[in-house]
Amino acid sequence: MLRALEQIRRMRGGAVSPDALRRRLLYVVKFQNNPQHTRVLVNELLGTRLAARLGLPTVPVEIVAVSEELIRLTPELAIELPRARIPCQPGLQFGSRSPGDPRRLTLHDFLPDEQLRAVENVHAFAGILVFDKWTCNTNGRQTVFFSKGNRTAEQGAVRYETRMIDQGFCFNAGEWNFPDAPLRGLYARNRVCEGVTGMESFAPWLERLEKQASERVLDEASREIPAGVVCRRLRRAAAAPGTIAPPATARAGPDSGGQEMQSPAISKLDVNHE
């Protein structure tokens, strides 16, 4: 487990403070009282670790402890409602490590179609499609891209790599069921599927899934999540899709009074190993 030391910035907007650049590890943290559901934290941790087992390019993910004191001293650690700010909930949260040092690495949420051709591991999009269908990801596939250093003219065009992020809507987000929704969870740009010529393009990934996703592996992965009861439900649901009705728990976190929450409680935190 990691312990958060300092908030660097909210995601989307704002700059990384110079202080952040001296630190070692940067994690993007989703809080338990995020506006989507507490369960997206479980989905993130379990989903990302399962995707990694299939050999998909993910980022390291960890449980991050955020203290009450840090939240009290950091007004930015809050969920913004239309007319209110609700402080992030202290305790164990989900953290997803940034693929590199922000001084040397520019991250992109999207690339223009032309540059998608320069993504070295673009073949992984076929694999993540298999994964997203298997886990019933009901959100559009999200990734980050980064370039592998500035190339000179002699070295040729800039090459990119991608990392799969945001597994929060796997297992149908907070619902933990498996609706039949074939078009949900796809990546927005078809260009990433240029190399897909038919079902045979998915064969290596399907084979990995059959070999890797044994009950033992699912069991091990789900035991890494603190809320044991919650995970047993999820494991049973994964073993027999559609058989587990979602429990009648309310959306997690402080009651939003029916208002729509606007921005996710995601912040980049500096962390130390405990």
Site residues, ligand ATP (CB under 6 A): 11, 28, 59, 96-99, 107, 109, 142, 144, 165-166, 168, 264, 266
Q: How far is the CB of 99 from ligand ATP (least distance, A)?
A: 6
- Residues touching Mg ion: how many (CB under 5 A)? 2
Q: How far is the CB of 142 from Mg ion (least distance, A)?
A: 5
By C-beta, is 90 or 96 nearer to Mg ion?
Answer: 96
By C-beta, is 169 or 176 nearer to Mg ion?
Answer: 169
Residue from 166, 187, 222, 271 in contact with Mg ion (CB under 5 A): 166
Residue 44 lies near Mg ion (rule: CB under 5 A): no
By C-beta, is 243 or 272 nearer to ligand ATP?
Answer: 272
Please give the C-alpha separations between residue 202 and each of 113, 125, 129, 166, 208, in angstroms, as whole numbers: 22, 10, 9, 22, 10
Q: How far is the CB of 137 from ligand ATP (least distance, A)?
A: 12
264, interface contact from Mg ion, ligand ATP, none, CB < 5-8 Å by kind = ligand ATP
By C-beta, is 147 or 167 nearer to Mg ion?
Answer: 167
Residues 139-158 that bind Mg ion (CB under 5 A): 142
Q: Return residues touching Mg ion (CB under 5 A).
A: 142, 166
